[in-house]
């Protein structure tokens, strides 16, 4: 039973069918001949469908994934100081290694006072993950929007773990990843309120990204977003979390598809192996750092003791997670002493 959707989610059949259709449209969308124009029309149709499915009124730049989208935004935004929360994904740290890290509360939410002081820098760009990939903690979007915009700054929201499941935040730039929601690997998007927020680089995507567009993946991305419904309801996911409350990381505002569970004795690595033997795929935090024996950087930033952090695993649900999967995992978790 696959419960590691925050790392990657299985490809939806709708996305697979759309990609097969896209492979038949083989030309470069930038070519001026009839075949190229056909590919361009299919690409723009996919772009419009992504915008409609996400309810986004601005612009969409297709990228090779969330990491590239973050690199474009953090590297080329027309802004001054780069500010990031202390619990951001490793891709943010790689894209902006010199960015100032802002502390968070034990809930994983940015400290409002720290944020208010930090944005006093000239024309800041604040990058914050909408739903944390390790804990499911949700940021206070109203506070972010008011604080950042009142200071004349830009807000970059990493919605890799929330797009397609939770309404997009009213940010200036939003990062989306297809493979987290049942789309193909190798495609993502940078959503922009306006192209004028970025320095152009030349090349494709209106001159804001180099590299030929991946048409089949863009079509699969759109189809995955449009597929919509999950096999579980919000009520069933809430009941699942309630049944694991004794082990669940106490977070006031948490998305219902990512749970951080702490075992009383066993290490995360032992738990991952034990649960795998029992037929459950889970992870020890972010897939980018789950092989490390060090305590999670995210959990440490939230003030969790090293011992507890090393006994915490991540369980993440997705489009094909069933109520039976939830019941089976809960029984397995409670059976482990």
Rounded-to-integer distance, Cα 135 and Cα 13, Å:
28
Rounded-to-integer distance, Cα 294 and Cα 287, Å:
14
Residue (of 335, 286, 303, 204) closest to 4 by Cα position? 286
Q: Is 283 helix (H, G, I), strand (E, B) or coil?
A: strand
Rounded-to-integer distance, Cα 309 and Cα 303, Å:
10
Catalytic residue among 244, 288, 328, 332: 288
Residues recorded for the chain? 337
CB 160 within 8 A of CB 89: yes
Which residue matches tokens 């502390």? 103
State both tokens at 70.
């973050």
Residue (of 309, 146, 282, 227) closest to 126 by Cα position? 146
Is 188 one of the annotated active-site residues of the chain?
A: no
Annotated catalytic sites, by residue?
288
């Amino acid at each position: 039973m696959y419960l590691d959707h925050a790392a990657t989610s299985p490809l939806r059949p709708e996305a697979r069918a759309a990609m097969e259709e896209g492979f038949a449209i083989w030309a470069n969308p930038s070519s001026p001949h009839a075949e190229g124009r056909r590919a361009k029309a299919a690409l723009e149709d996919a772009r419009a469908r992504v915008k409609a499915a996400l309810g986004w009124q601005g612009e969409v730049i297709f990228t090779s994934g969330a990491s590239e989208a973050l690199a474009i935004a953090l590297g080329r935004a027309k802004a001054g100081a780069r500010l990031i929360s202390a619990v951001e994904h490793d891709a943010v740290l790689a894209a902006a290694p010199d960015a100032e890290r802002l502390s968070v509360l034990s809930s994983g939410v940015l400290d409002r006072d720290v944020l208010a002081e930090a944005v006093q820098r000239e024309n800041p760009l604040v990058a914050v993950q909408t739903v944390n990939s390790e804990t499911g903690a949700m940021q206070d979007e109203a506070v972010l929007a008011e604080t950042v915009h009142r200071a004349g700054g830009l807000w970059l929201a990493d919605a890799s773990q929330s797009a397609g499941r939770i309404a997009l935040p009213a940010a200036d730039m939003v990062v989306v990843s297809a493979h987290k929601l049942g789309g193909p690997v190798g495609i993502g998007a940078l959503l922009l309120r306006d192209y004028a927020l970025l320095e152009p680089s030349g090349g494709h995507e209106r001159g804001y990204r180099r590299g030929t567009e991946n048409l089949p993946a863009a079509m699969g991305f759109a189809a995955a977003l449009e597929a919509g419904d999950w096999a579980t309801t919000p009520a069933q996911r809430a009941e699942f979390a309630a049944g694991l409350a004794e082990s669940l990381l106490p977070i006031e505002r948490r998305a219902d598809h990512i749970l951080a569970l702490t075992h009383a004795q066993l290490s995360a690595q032992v738990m991952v192996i034990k649960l795998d033997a029992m037929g459950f795929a889970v992870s020890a935090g972010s897939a980018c750092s789950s092989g490390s024996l060090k305590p999670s950087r995210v959990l440490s930033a939230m003030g969790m003791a090293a011992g507890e952090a090393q006994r915490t695993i991540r369980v993440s649900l997705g489009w094909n997670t069933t109520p039976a999967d939830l019941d089976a995992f809960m029984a397995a978790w409670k059976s482990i002493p």
